[in-house]
Amino acid sequence: MDFRHLFRSRTSDHPHPPDGDTPLMPGKAHTKGSRTRKYIFTGLVLLILWLIGVMIYQTHKPLPKGISYESPLYQSEVAMWVDLTYPGPDGQPVHDREIGPRIGQIIDESRKFLVIDMFLFNGYAHKGQTFPKVTEELTDRLVKHKQKYPDMDIFFISDEVNTGYGSYPLPEFEAMKAAGIQVIITDVNRLRDSTPIYSAVWRTFFQWFGQSGKGTLPNLMANEAPDITVRSYLKLLNVKANHRKVVISENTALVTSANIHDASAFHSNIAFETSGDIIGDILATEQAAVNLSSDIKLPAYEPKAAAPKQPSGQAGSVDVRYLTEGKIYKYVLESIEQSQSGDTLWYGDVLSGRRQGDGPASESLGARRRHTPYPGSEPECIRQGKNWDPQPSGCR
């Protein structure tokens, strides 16, 4: 018998399974899609775990040797130099500048070596703004000094903010290099991350492409400066920098809050200058900064029989200790903690960003709570961070 017509009739009745019916081979239609979703999910889990690992490591990894430094205590003379901008009798701004001229004197008096570490160092500003050409002046002075004393070692350490994070060369740096001055841009990638979530993404996906190339985006820091690449802005968002401002010669060392930077020339700043064996410690911390990006060796300090006298100014023999990075934070908190009733605390800082309830501000509030007399329980204004004054009403 021929049964083929029976099979034809059965299949012709239902050429396609009705909606919702299970296919003839259950599970086969969804196998490929399910497997793809499983791979994507596994990949996302592994990526998240990787980023978490990067965040943890890059915020807790050991700092390179010598970056966070605490020197022994020395006895030395200290001079203070001040830049001030304030309104004059006629209401016009008055600019008293001591720091830049003193740095120029240190350069002129040096014969063996110079090490300068300067965060901001460029002549760029926004269009329409006019500032003293302090960057060009210092560059010319260094170049002429190198030409006058060609065997003298001069090192200039700085941050890549001045090159738009690698987007363009800085003319002042190129002039120094041409004169034989060694210019070193600090590689801050080796430091811990200050924006761990973003930096974990940047380290994983973007750092490999570098920053150099033709800039396509306007420079928001100074629109007179060349354009910046997208990759340079991505690097900037890590918010890390070599923020030091130090000038060292065989004779003296000056540490300042002032940048030799045209657009910063009218800022108020202070500087402290000292001499003696502590120069060796300051050089050691600068060598640590150099080691982040170069194998260049800075000169060693040769102790003198007697330290040279400080220039005119506010000077006197005091205890001197040199601190960098986390050691600064440590000693600030210790100084606040050791304050006693009746002491006056002076604290100045350009940026003081820490977690809420942590850092110098909260520690000083704690000191005030410990040492400020007030009757009964702690007033509400103290808990709110306001001032307490026994007269007349207590809170103000």
pLDDT band with cut points at 50, 70 and 90 for residue 216:
confident
For the cut 60, the answer to whether the pLDDT of residue 238 exceeds it is yes
| Collapsed DSSP state (helix, strand, coil) of residue 255 | strand
pLDDT of residue 342: 83
Please state at what angle helix 360-371 crosses helix 326-337, rounded to 10 degrees. Answer: 10
Residue with the larger pLDDT of the pair 55 and 311: 55
Compute CA distances 73 → 277, 288, 319, whole Å: 10, 20, 6
Count Cβ atoms below 10 Å from residue 213 Cβ, excluding itself: 15
* Rounded-to-integer distance, Cα 99 and Cα 81, Å: 6
pLDDT band with cut points at 50, 70 and 90 for residue 12:
very low
pLDDT of residue 392: 46
* Rounded-to-integer distance, Cα 349 and Cα 3, Å: 97
Compute CA distances 61 → 46, 82, 190, 297, whole Å: 22, 38, 9, 25
Model-level pTM greater than 0.85? no
pLDDT of residue 343: 84
pLDDT of residue 223: 87
Q: What is the pLDDT of residues 164-175, one digit of tens each?
A: 998 999 999 999
DSSP string computed for 114-167: EEEEES-------TT-----HHHHHHHHHHHHHHHSTTSEEEEEE-GGGGTTTT
Residue 23, preceding bond cis, omega within 30 degrees? no
Compute CA distances 289 → 17, 135, 325, 330, whole Å: 73, 22, 11, 20
Q: Which residues of 249-284 are buried (b: 16+ CB within 10 A; e: fewer)?
A: bbebbbbbbbbbbbbbbeeebbbebbbbbbbbbbbb
Percent of the chain topping pLDDT 90: 58
Please state at what angle helix 171-179 crosses helix 134-148, rounded to 10 degrees. Answer: 10
| Collapsed DSSP state (helix, strand, coil) of residue 327 | helix
* Rounded-to-integer distance, Cα 146 and Cα 225, Å: 27
**Least confident residue range of 50-64, 211-225, 375-389:** 375-389
* Rounded-to-integer distance, Cα 237 and Cα 205, Å: 14
* Rounded-to-integer distance, Cα 200 and Cα 203, Å: 5
pLDDT of residue 296: 96
* Rounded-to-integer distance, Cα 238 and Cα 193, Å: 7
In contact, 347 and 332? CB cutoff 8 Å:
yes
* Residue for token pair 């919702």: 20
pLDDT of residue 4: 53
For the cut 50, the answer to whether the pLDDT of residue 313 exceeds it is no
**Residue range 40-63: mean pLDDT, rounded:** 93
Please state at what angle helix 134-148 crosses helix 99-109, rounded to 10 degrees. Answer: 10
* Residue for token pair 């010598």: 66
For the cut 50, the answer to whether the pLDDT of residue 391 exceeds it is no
* Rounded-to-integer distance, Cα 361 and Cα 364, Å: 5
For the cut 60, the answer to whether the pLDDT of residue 93 exceeds it is yes
**Least confident residue range of 72-86, 152-166, 239-253, 294-308:** 294-308
- Residues making up the chain, counted from first to last: 396
For the cut 80, the answer to whether the pLDDT of residue 356 exceeds it is no
**Residue range 377-383: mean pLDDT, rounded:** 48
In contact, 159 and 122? CB cutoff 8 Å:
no
* Rounded-to-integer distance, Cα 168 and Cα 123, Å: 14
pLDDT of residue 128: 85
pLDDT band with cut points at 50, 70 and 90 for residue 83:
very high
* Rounded-to-integer distance, Cα 185 and Cα 395, Å: 50
Closest to 343 (Cα-Cα) out of 369, 371, 303 = 371
| Collapsed DSSP state (helix, strand, coil) of residue 43 | helix
Q: What is the pLDDT of residues 27-45, one digit of tens each?
A: 555 677 788 888 899 999 9
HSE, CB side, 13 Å, CA atoms: give it for residue 294.
16
pLDDT band with cut points at 50, 70 and 90 for residue 221:
confident
